[in-house]
Amino acid sequence: MTNKKISKKDIGKLLEGWSREFTVFVPSKDRGVTEMAKWDGKDTGFFEWYRNTVIPAKSSFLPAMEKMFSFQKDTDGYHLELSQDQQKRILFGIRPCDARAIAIIDNVFTDSYEDPYYVSKRKNTVLIGLNCTNPYDSCFCTSLGVKPTQSVDVDLMLTDIGDEFSVEEITDKGKELLAAASVVKKATKADDAKAKTVTAAVSGMVKRKVDTKDIAKKLQACFSDKDYWEKVAANCVSCGICTLLCPTCYCFDICDELSKKQGTRYRRWDSCGFSIYTRMPMENPREEKWRRVRQKVCHKYEFYPMNFDVIACTGCGRCIRLCPVNWDIIQILSSVPAEQPAKKKVVSEKDVSYRY
């Protein structure tokens, strides 16, 4: 299949054309933190500074704070007004690690129960990927089977080939999007060769590695090793950054805002690193910090693969570079003992029941 191409100077025209039918989101730092935000209709300067966003692309489908419905009570009972987001959207410039992360959390929101809020956004969104040609030192995506140039999880993939982008059509959604774009041209063999050269060179730029083979078995073996987990959790300050800004973490809390006989229900991001997370009527099952840290690590690399046969991590490196105390998941995974040490089975049967 021959790729398409577009001149970098024509990207604004391309986005302008798409914005007539879609709400277009691009990398932005207007609010002081990099995120995918609604395009202002003019600026395409993000190519000059964009490596990846701090706030992951999951926020486009599972917002940090989301209205679920409003309700009002009268003599006939309660009346609900559901919040429905049906806008057609384009996420332009999503990195392969974040696109893979969305595919991973799709499992949660479409498995035994389809979450209508998530699914409606997902179905109405086109993902346009941008190959990662300048990974951070903290990135380790290749250890999780994610290539910084892979295109399997997007509808279109752009590769920087100098003054132009090579555009690979992946899905029917992507093909339809390009069909009416007059600024997109057919790529030449020379253009395709440039794109292949770029993609071949990028994977070698990811320097950090971690061996995830048998990691689930190793974590299972040391689950009861309190000494190990206390050591792992020693520097953690339970701020939640590594989970809230993780592209595959999806936990949320639900709260109501009430005013007399009416109110609104919201859901908002939550973190297993918080001491009040999963608090139950009579107890908190993970009162100690080491238990919460263990849950975070084991969920991604042991429990989630048990349910969906994929590790819930894409090696984006956010949890490493954004941690205020330099907690490093690569060092943690590399330090997991191969077998459970003797005389360290200190975890009760009740504790084991909270493994999920």
pTM score of the predicted model: 0.90
Q: Would the pLDDT of 93 be above 50?
A: yes
Residue that finishes a domain, picked among 205, 238, 273: 205
Instruction: Output the CA–CA distances (angstroms, integers) from residue 68 to 107, 242, 271, 335, in the order listed.
Output: 21, 25, 20, 42
Task: For residues 201 and 221, state if they share a domain.
Answer: no
Containing 121, the helix (H) or strand (E) segment is helix 116-123
Greater confidence (190 vs 282) lies with: 190
Each residue of 295-318: pLDDT tens digit? Answer: 999 999 999 999 999 999 999 999
Q: Is residue 210 part of a domain?
A: no
How many contiguous H segments (helices) and E segments (strands) does the chain have? Answer: 13, 12
pLDDT number for residue 349: 37
| Biggest distance spanned by C-alpha atoms of the chain | 73
202 with 96: CB under 8 angstroms?
A: no
Q: Is residue 333 part of a domain?
A: yes
More confident residue, 275 or 228: 228
Give the pLDDT confidence score for residue 73 in this predicted structure.
87
CA 331 – CA 262 distance, rounded (Å): 50
- Estimate to the nearest angstrom the gap between the alpha carbon of 28 and the chain centroid: 17
Q: Contacts from 321-329 at CB under 8 Å and sequence distance 24+?
A: 321/136, 321/137, 321/138, 322/54, 322/241, 322/242, 322/245, 323/241, 323/242, 324/237, 324/239, 324/241, 325/235, 325/236, 325/237, 326/235, 327/235, 327/236, 327/242, 329/210, 329/242, 329/297
Do 332 and 259 belong to one domain? yes
Query: Are 232 and 347 within one domain?
Result: yes
User: Is residue 136 situated within a structural domain?
Assistant: yes
Query: Is 272 found in the same domain as 200?
Result: no
Pairwise CA distance, residues 89 & 86, whole Å:
9
**According to the model, what pLDDT value does residue 112 have?**
81
Separation of first and last alpha carbons in the chain: 44
Q: In the structure, what pLDDT confidence band is assigned to residue 101 with cuts at 50, 70 and 90?
A: very high
Q: Of 27, 205, 228, which is closest to residue 129 (Cα–Cα)?
A: 27
CA atoms within 13 A on the CB side of 352: 11
342 and 225 together in one domain? yes
Share of the chain above pLDDT 90, in %: 81
* DSSP assignment letter at 57: G
Q: What per-residue confidence (pLDDT) applies to 283?
A: 65
As a whole number, mean pLDDT of residues 4-29 equals 96
Both 191 and 45 in one domain: the answer is yes
What confidence tens digit (pLDDT) does each residue in 226-266 have? Answer: 999 999 999 999 999 999 999 999 999 999 999 888 999 99
Map tokens 């049906």 to a residue: 86
What is the tens place of the pLDDT at every residue in 216-228?
Answer: 999 999 999 999 9
Residue 324 lies in a domain: yes
pLDDT digits (tens, 9 = 90+) for 108-147: 999 888 999 999 999 999 999 999 999 999 999 999 999 9
H or E stretch at 5: strand 4-7
- Nearest C-alpha neighbor of 156 from the set 184, 142, 177, 141: 177
pLDDT surpasses 80 at 342: no
Residue 185 has pLDDT above 80, yes or no: yes
Does 279 have pLDDT greater than 80? Answer: no
Domain that holds residue 270: 215-352
Residue 343 pLDDT exceeds 60: no
Mention every residue, 6+ apart, whose C-beta is less than 8 A from residue 94: 36, 57, 127, 128, 129, 130, 154
Higher-pLDDT residue of 104 and 2 is 104
Q: How many domains does the chain have?
A: 2
Provide the pLDDT for residue 345: 47
Domain boundary residue among 173, 205, 237?
205
Q: Residue 70: inside a domain, yes or no?
A: yes
Nearest to 56 by CA among 25, 88, 19: 25
Residue 82 binned pLDDT confidence (cut-offs 50, 70, 90): confident
| φ, ψ dihedrals at 332, nearest 5° | -65, -50
In this prediction, residue 352 has a pLDDT band, given cuts at 50, 70 and 90, of very low
